Amino acid sequence: NNKPFNMKLSLALLTAISGANAFSVTNSNARASMQLNANRQPIMAGNWKMNPETEDEALGLASGLSQKLGEETCPMDDDNEFCTEVVIFPPHPFAARVKAEVEEVGITVGAQSVFYENKGAYTGSVSINMVKSIGCEYVLCGHSERRTLFGDSDDSINRKVKKVLEAGLKPILCCGETKGEYDLNIKNEVCAMQLSKDLTGVTKEEMANVVIAYEPVWAIGTGLVCGSEDANAVHAFLRTVLANIYDDDVAQATRIQYGGSVTPDSVDELMAQPEIDGCLVGGASLDAEKFGRIINYVKK
């Protein structure tokens, strides 16, 4: 019976959209989450999107990247709790061979998307068990390009998130506003709506395996920049949403990445912000030198 959870979800959503100033949240857990600074393992992820064009190019990029890891990058495990986790998302046809190229140095490979059914007559789709069988550990869910170009609804994204968790993999759940929504000053309300809908039915315990990525759509590949302090403020707000849906423990433990034209020039300032736990990188992840600089960001 999900009634208590759904009630909390509805309350969280109503709280988030109750006014233009979404920081007027009054829940005590939410207030506390703004004041705490939990230790969360940094996570840098490279989304290759529909690039590169050939397997040889993909393997070359993977090989180049595997030589760029520093002393403070590692896979996520109990012995290396706070070094930087690195994940890459190559196109599906390249994932298995890319994984073989990078796994020895501790880079994790994920899938850019899956369909929420296990198998069947779904031409062109990929299932969670398919990507799991070739060693993928993460799956992107709700990326802005999937929402806008391919029509992924919050309902389908929610089904994907639950399917990923059910299979023992980890979703990176993306949320973010368009330029029009940003101009209307409703970015917090949009993000709260997406997060609340997309996490419906996800338990507190399962949240240990969920990563959130805030990606302002207007800053992706446009040259427009979301300032690090502005991004940090949205991340802090997202923790108030998580605190209202679950509790402060979940809000503080959940890793939240920033994605939106992250570059070697901007990464240090972004990662100096207390609520930003990593970056979801697009174009710069296709250049081993640039992505290497990003994952080896200078800690301030």
- Cα(139)–Cα(142) distance, integer angstroms: 10
Which residue from 159, 244, 247 is spatially nearest to 197, judged by alpha carbons? 159
> Contact at 8 Å (CB) between 235 and 214?
yes
> Contact at 8 Å (CB) between 174 and 144?
yes
Q: Phi-psi category of 146—alpha, beta or left, where left has phi over 0 and alpha has psi -120 to 50? A: alpha
Angle at 297 between CA 291 and CA 300, to 5 degrees: 165
Residue type, 24: S
Residue type, 163: K
The residue annotated as part of the active site, out of 137, 189, 215, 275, is: 215
Which residue from 8, 20, 1 is spatially nearest to 199, judged by alpha carbons? 8
Tell me, yes or no, if 215 is annotated catalytic: yes
Which residue from 39, 4, 1, 35 is spatially nearest to 246, judged by alpha carbons? 4
**Cis upstream peptide for 171 (omega within 30°):** no
Burial letters for 28-45: b for 16+ Cβ neighbours within 10 Å, e otherwise? ebbebbbeeebebbbbbb
The residue annotated as part of the active site, out of 101, 143, 206, 235, is: 143
For the annotated catalytic residues, the residue numbers are: 143, 215
